[in-house]
Every structure is written in structure tokens, then in C-alpha cells.
Amino acid sequence: MSDSGHVSSVTSVGFRLSRSGRFSGETDPLMERFNASLPYDKRMWKQDLEGSIAYAAALGRAGILKDDEVKKLQEGLRAVGKEWESGKFEVKGGDEDIHTANERRLTEIVGPVGGKLHTGRSRNDQVVTDVRLWLREEVRALISNMKNLISVATERAEKEMDLLLPGYTHLQRAQPIRWSHWLLCYAWQWKRDVERLEGLLTRVNLLPLGVGALSGHPFGVDRHALAKDLGFDGIIPNSLDAVGDRDFILEYLFASSLIMVHFSRFAEDLILYSSTEFGFVSLADAYSTGSSLMPQKKNPDALELLRGKSGRTIGQTVGLLVTVKGTPSTYNKDLQEDKEPLFDAADTLEACSLIANGVLSTLVTNKDKMLKALDLPMLATDLSDHLVRKGIPFREAHHVAGAVVKLAEDRKCSLDQLTVEDLRKIHPSFDDSGPGGMWDYEAAVERRQTDGGTSRRAVGKQIEELKAWLSQ
């Protein structure tokens, strides 16, 4: 998509845009295919026409085009758009990219005045404008999808506050937590994802158009007015940076990769929780598949694909970083390689955000299985905390609690079957009441009252904070 500074030759159907007067030989057909980007950048047809309609108005304000020429060009561009919308647009030989295709068709419709549209403009500033317009819409749509997902998690957390299950570290049972607390763990990660996207949007929504190939516009186009017409927040102030910058794409790919990492971890938890061994949740049939051989199987394919596609998006990020790192300043043809990873990541994120929403909205929890997975050794920390409240140093209390657990293991009994005498033999601080109702999962959860904890009050506060943020 580099600009060749071409001097187009007039033909009976308009302008041949893919070659300039500088060249006399024919292009190798293989090179034409190698060079072309229309097969994938045609998805930006709407943005390309939108930018051209605004650019025609800018040329009119600069006195380059007469009012009737601006009107004719804009009407012609809208006619091209209708052909794209209806599926009637016909791609022809020499349509190297979406820009040459649209301008070629425009010239066929309006005649030689179509050749005036490119005055002072380069494909270098045109293409990156198209990408920014396209990505702006994608980011806003993704933000909406992610907020919907957070809303689903928050609503479930509020409704399912009573459910308790093991919390894990090292994939070993650690302490009891609320199911709601687990849901909100991911809601907060997704909130950070949204905030990253919102920050990115401020850097995406800047106008590069009007700087030409690299050095600026020779006809006094008002770039600020052009930015306003296209809904940009401002302009990119340096012409060299404007045509060569792909940071905003890399930043989007990084943000996408991190979202996919969060989806992958979320999926991994639910893959485990939905397995026969755990059984905490059941996935809806809509997001599961069967086995081609084993009729009893219900496979969590939606979740496995969420996990698997994270590698794809991370790979796109690394690939483009490597492509961009070796390019000198301004535009180089290497930068044409930005669109395929961008489009692929955007398509992946759209699908994954909707699938994650569907999975979370429809899964069914199994309260009995969650409770059954809780065991009293998970309350050993609470036992040490009980001793700390009696004035025992934590390190000593921790050692005592460990000895209590070992005694129960040696006797092959549960912790609540140990007598007060058994406990006193380990440490004299145990009184006649023993651990004092220590072996209660709900009470253990409710002891975590500090902000960020898993008690009902602390989880409820998280829910209210997320609701308030979503309402803004």
C-alpha cells in the first residue's frame, strides 16, 4: 500500500492507478499478487469511502475543488458505497488495494474529475486513516462486549452469593471462598481490559490524513477541520510519524493478547470445574460437543477454543512487533503486513468475547458438589488465627495448627473428631471449648471481612463498585 507518487494515464474508463509514468515494463503477475492487499483490506471499503468523502470537502475548503466538483465526487463515492453494500462491486485487474479499487470505480462513474480526489493525498496517509477509522469502531464494539460480560459476572455474583467452594493455590485446595468471589476475580480482570481499551481509543482516534506521503500537504488543507469531519479527537502533529506509526495497532494487539490470556485462565478454571472429578458446574449443550467415538462424552470445546486461541493472538502480536522493529522511519511496504494480524485478532476477540458471555450466562452451578469438595484441613489457617487471638505468635500458632492436622491424619479421623484433650497435648492454650466453632465453612468465609475479602460484606462491596462503574 505504499504510495508510488504515480502519474496516472487516462483511459476510456478512467485512470490506471496501479502503475505510474515512471514505469515502462509490465509487472510480473506473481509480483502483482504478492503486492496486492485488496483480498483482505477490502473490508475497509466503508472507511475508505468515508475518508474520501471528507477529504473531497477539505479540498473544496482549500480552493482546490469547485463546489460542483466536491458534490459530484461525494455523490460518486456514495454510489460506490452502494455497490459494496449490495455486493455488486466488481473487482478488476489493477485493483491493487481498496484505495485504487474505489478510486478506479469512482472515476468510471464521474469521469476525469475523479482524478482530482487524490490531490495532495498519498496512499501512505490514506491507508493509516482507514485503519484508524476501522479500528475505532472495533475497539468500541469490543468495549461493549466486555462490559456485557462483566455485567453477567456481576449479576451472577449477586444472585449466587450463598455458594461456597474451595479456593485453590498451586491447584491444591487452600481455603473456602464464595463462588461470587471467584466470578468477580475475572470481572476485575476484564474491567482492567476495558480500561486499557478506553486508553487505547484516545491514541487510535487521531487523524493522520493530510500529510501526504511523508512531508506534509502542499495545498493548505485544514487538517483540524478534516479531523472534526471524521470524528477524530485531533491530528497527529508530525507528518513522518503520521504515516509510519503502527503503535496503535501493536497496542491493540497487546491489549487483545492480554484479554485472551484472561479468557484462557477463565476457561481453564471452568474446564476443571466442569469435569467429572470436580463437577462444580455444568456447561450448556450450546457450548459443548460430543465425541465422535464415545457417546457418553460432553466436551468443553468452547472453553478449550477460548484457551487455544490465546496463542494465536499472542503470536500475531509478536509477529507484527518483529515486522515493525526493523523498519526505518515513515512508510515502508513492510507495514502492509499490519492488517492481516489486526483483522484476525479483531475477529478472534469479537467471537471469544461473545462465546465467553454465552458460556457464563448459561452454565449451571452444582452447590452440593462444591460443598462436598470442602474439607476441614482447609480451615487449618483459621485454627492458627484462633490461637493468634489468644496471644500466641503466628509462627508458633502456624506450627501448632500443622501438628493438629498431622494428628488427625495419623488417626485417620477428621479434625472435628479430635477432643479438647487431644488438642491440649499439642498446645496448652486450647480451653474447654476447644477451637470454639472453628470447623464451620460459612463462619470461616465470613471472617474475611476486610475489603477485597470473600465475606458477604466484602463481596457485596465489590458488586456495588462494579455496578457503579458499569452505570457510568
Phi/psi at 197 (5° precision)? -65, -40
Can you tell me the distance from the alpha carbon of 408 to that of 383, in angstroms, rounded to the nearest whole number? 14
Strands 164-169 and 206-207: what pairing? Answer: unpaired
List the one residue out of 413, 408, 414 whose CA is nearest residue 426: 408
State yes or no: is 291 an active-site residue: yes
Strands 364-365 and 281-282: what pairing? Answer: antiparallel
Can you tell me the distance from the alpha carbon of 97 to that of 77, in angstroms, rounded to the nearest whole number? 16
Can you tell me the distance from the alpha carbon of 452 to that of 437, in angstroms, rounded to the nearest whole number? 24
Distances (CA, A) of 10 to 17, 49, 75, 92, 328: 10, 22, 21, 16, 34
Can you tell me the distance from the alpha carbon of 139 to that of 145, in angstroms, rounded to the nearest whole number? 10
Name the active-site residue from 12, 24, 170, 433: 170
Cell numbers given for 27:
509487472
* Contact of 338 with 246, CB cutoff 8 Å: yes
State yes or no: is 170 an active-site residue: yes
Helix (H) or strand (E) holding 52: helix 45-61
Distance of CA 213 to the CA centre of its chain: 32
Q: Residues with Cβ < 8 Å from 325, sequence gap 6 or more?
A: none
Name the active-site residue from 215, 275, 291, 414: 291
Apex 441 CA angle, 437 and 444, nearest 5: 75
Which three-class secondary structure state does DSSP give residue 233?
coil
**Which positions are catalytic?**
170, 291
